[in-house]
Homo-oligomer: A and B are copies of this chain.
Amino acid sequence: MIETPYLLFLGDAPDQLAAKVAQGIKDWRPEFAIGQFRMEGCKADMGLPDLTLAEARAKGVKTLVIGVANRGGVISPAWKKVLIAALEEGFDLASGLHNLLRDEEDLAAVARATGRALHDVRVPEVDYPIANGKKRTGKRMLAVGTDCSVGKMYTALCVEKEMRARGLKATFRATGQTGILITGDGVPLDAVVADFMAGSVEWLTPDNDAGHWDLIEGQGSLFHVSYSGVTLALIHGGQPDALVVCHEPTRPHMRGLPDYALPTLEQVRDTALALARVVNPACVVAGYAINTQHLPQEEAQALLADVEARLGLPATDPFRFGAAKLVDALAAI
């Protein structure tokens, strides 16, 4: 559990896209995003106050989050001075980079000396149990995709936002690095040892109030041969009452697999639902979340109408057009 609120470290980001972790935090947990820290030459800007470490401290910031990815995932020597000063100022550090904070000897030494925490969210910090499959209270929605990176995290976050706006009890449950940095908590599922995958998802989505919804971030796809096992562990550990099928309609082939075509929405619906019903016979597909970012507005709306007509369930781009339709369907379950 990462302590909030955050100072978002943008470093020397070459462009806005390089700071997409910071953008995610700012978009989805604005209450955590107290300010930003930019170094000379930084080309990203979250529109937050630029704070010195001392100013951030005075505003109650607890953790400096590395909100930027640089080439190769390394921790740049240029950043080190700031990161060390941040530890000395009393902040914890949090990072989703491939290279771990804890493996940098200078950072590790200062963290030890100052008693601060280094959160590498790629590394599980919990001994997860083996899944037991016992029925849990509360409701759960899982985003499943035709492919990797089609908008499963954004779909779950959009549904959470809409549910909360309606006064429903809802919690986004992060299963990937960016989601964990956004919310301060979660399971880095792709780094969990095989035997404990489903158990880690059970741990993440425990018993809850009858009307509460866990909105579980999906990973991979049942049809992505590199990561499908992770997806199935999410389905069986997540014990979903509802699935939302996520899709990006302009992708020419499965991400990173040029020989593999995307499955149809029908294939994902039928395959995921049959497997989900092993753990929850009442599971249904609530609707479709289509990532239309590469389509003009009219084409996007036509596509959504077509999906609704073809599949008989609500379809939306929850980020572009809102998640109301999906929440209507979920609230009726």
Residue contact A132 to B257, C-beta cutoff 8 Å = yes
Copy total for this chain: 2
Residue contact A199 to B228, C-beta cutoff 8 Å = no
Pick the contact of A223 from B131, B223, B278 — CB < 8 Å? B278
Q: Mark A224-262, 1 if CB is under 8 A from B, else 0.
A: 011111111100110000000000000000001101100
Q: Mark A132-152, 1 if CB is under 8 A from B, else 0.
A: 111100000000000000000
A193 part of interface (Cβ distance < 8 Å):
yes
Give chain B nearest CB distance to A41 CB in angstroms: 33
Residue contact A197 to B236, C-beta cutoff 8 Å = no
What residues of B have a CB within 8 angstroms of the CB of A199 in the complex? 226
Give chain B nearest CB distance to A312 CB in angstroms: 22
Residue contact A225 to B278, C-beta cutoff 8 Å = yes
Residue contact B259 to A226, C-beta cutoff 8 Å = no
A130 part of interface (Cβ distance < 8 Å):
yes
Pick the contact of A279 from B192, B225, B230, B279 — CB < 8 Å? B225
Give chain B nearest CB distance to A261 CB in angstroms: 10
- Interface residue tally of chain A, by bracket? 35 or more
A217 part of interface (Cβ distance < 8 Å):
no
Residue contact A229 to B225, C-beta cutoff 8 Å = no
Closest B residue to A129 by beta carbon equals: B226
What residues of B have a CB within 8 angstroms of the CB of A222 in the complex? 232, 275, 278
Residue contact B232 to A228, C-beta cutoff 8 Å = yes
Closest B residue to A219 by beta carbon equals: B194
Give chain B nearest CB distance to A88 CB in angstroms: 34
> If A228-B236, A229-B236, A236-B228 touch, does A194 touch B197 (CB 8 Å cutoff)?
yes
How far, in whole Å, are A259 and B194 apart by their CA atoms in the complex? 23
How far, in whole Å, are A130 and B195 apart by their CA atoms in the complex? 18
A162 part of interface (Cβ distance < 8 Å):
no
Q: Mark A268-299, 1 if CB is under 8 A from B, else 0.
A: 00010011001100000000000000000000
Q: Mark A57-68, 1 if CB is under 8 A from B, else 0.
A: 000000000000
Residue contact A227 to B195, C-beta cutoff 8 Å = yes
How far, in whole Å, are A157 and B232 apart by their CA atoms in the complex? 28
How far, in whole Å, are A256 and B129 apart by their CA atoms in the complex? 14
Residue contact B198 to A194, C-beta cutoff 8 Å = no
Binding site for B on A (CB under 8 A): 130-135, 189-195, 197-199, 222-223, 225-233, 236-237, 256-257, 259-260, 263, 271, 274-275, 278-279
List 26 interface pairs A-B (beta carbons < 8 Å), by A numbering.
A130-B226, A131-B226, A132-B226, A132-B257, A133-B225, A133-B257, A133-B260, A135-B259, A190-B193, A191-B194, A192-B194, A194-B197, A194-B227, A194-B230, A194-B233, A195-B226, A197-B230, A198-B227, A198-B229, A225-B237, A228-B232, A228-B236, A229-B230, A229-B231, A232-B232, A271-B274
Q: Which 4 pairs of residues, A with B, have the shortest CB-CB distance? A: A229-B233, A225-B236, A229-B229, A190-B195
